[in-house]
A and B are shown apart, each in its own frame.
Chain A
């Protein structure tokens, strides 16, 4: 019905379609696709900010260099605060994660852009890297006593087995929630913008819808940063568990 009246066309999910970059229908694992393009732009953006922006090594920083230093200090302080001094060994990995997610999120906000972090495949890989890496690290550092993470000493003895089951389940749910949170947030925001954009075709409500798009866009800008921050800080929290498994 709606399509007839105002020509409303809802395709909120079309923006997430992965397609080959240079035409053609075949999508092999090595085909350069729009994913490739936007991942490359992400890497380029990080490079421009962190490497090209700091190339003058100025004592009194330029604007770009201050942003780079701000990002560095933000993540550095986060790692130090949450995991302690031992966690600083893993600072480059966490910084990589943070910069990648921040730039992917912000680049995805550009009109016509493809949001790489809105894909479960991407965020699941990120979350599984964290999960597998941290589990391996825990066992490498503490051996079998890493399993005491699930054995809550503070609880009364009869409850401990039940708590252990709950802890194990919550441990394995971590990568799921970790990845779906990021992808879901990105997907939701972009889909909502697209839905409002479709409403803009109706002349009667187009001002409202354009206002709504503006507001949602502002919110999404905030969410893009907060989700990167949250992903990183949760990584730090999980890392702390691996470094100090005893409650």
Chain B
């Protein structure tokens, strides 16, 4: 019982302290203390007006302009990038074209050189062939002559030998028959 009264005294002391602490706030909820309303409403109105002026005069136009500027810059940059890309594509096309031209030119030059070379080679070959043919004919002729003369010599020697042989054997050599026989023997090789 004693403790209870003590608690109660404690409580009232707290309440008194609260009352002294908070001025006129004897009620439990400060939100419902109507005596503070004029003060709050007045300062709130001041704050709102100041805030509205700051926002509408300073902050919002500035942010809007920054945003607009940024979107403008981004659009501009995109356009610029597009332009640069187009230029790069053009340059590459030009380069490719030049490359193809150069390649074609090189091909042409090579083909020309090749043709020239071929022509020269052909000419030289023809010349060489002709020369070779002439020489071959010449040497054939010489060979034929040599062969003919050699054959004559052989015939003469053979006839001589034959006559001597016949004479040694004691016969009388008929030159005509000997010549015929020799020719018959040699004739095969003569063709």
A residues at B contact (CB < 8 Å): 1, 3-4, 9, 11, 13-14, 16-20, 25, 27-33, 35-36, 39-40, 42-43, 46-47, 50-51, 54, 57-59, 61, 65, 68-69, 72-73, 91-93, 95-96, 99-100, 116, 118-122, 125-126, 129, 183, 187
Contacts and interface: CB of A to CB of B under 8 A. Distances in A.
Nearest to B36: A18
The SS class assigned to the B binding surface is helix
A68 B56 CA distance: 14
A141 B3 CA distance: 69
Interface stretch (B66-74, B91-99, B100-108): B66-74
A19 B51 contact: no
Contacts of B70: 59
B189 interface: no
Given A17-B30, A39-B43, A121-B40, A47 B54 contact: yes
Contact of B39 (A4, A33, A183, A187): A33
Contact of A35 (B11, B23, B39, B54): B39
B59 A25 contact: no
B31 A187 contact: yes
A50 B7 contact: no
B52 A96 contact: yes
B170 interface: no
B64 to A, nearest CB: 8
A7 B42 CA distance: 39
Task: Place the interface of chain B in its size category.
Answer: 35 or more
Contacts of B11: 3
A116 B44 CA distance: 9
Nearest to B59: A50
B45 A96 contact: no
B72 to A, nearest CB: 10
A57 B59 contact: no
B65 A57 contact: yes
A72 B30 contact: no
Closest 4 A-B residue pairs measured CB to CB? Answer: A29-B38, A50-B59, A39-B47, A18-B36
B58 interface: yes
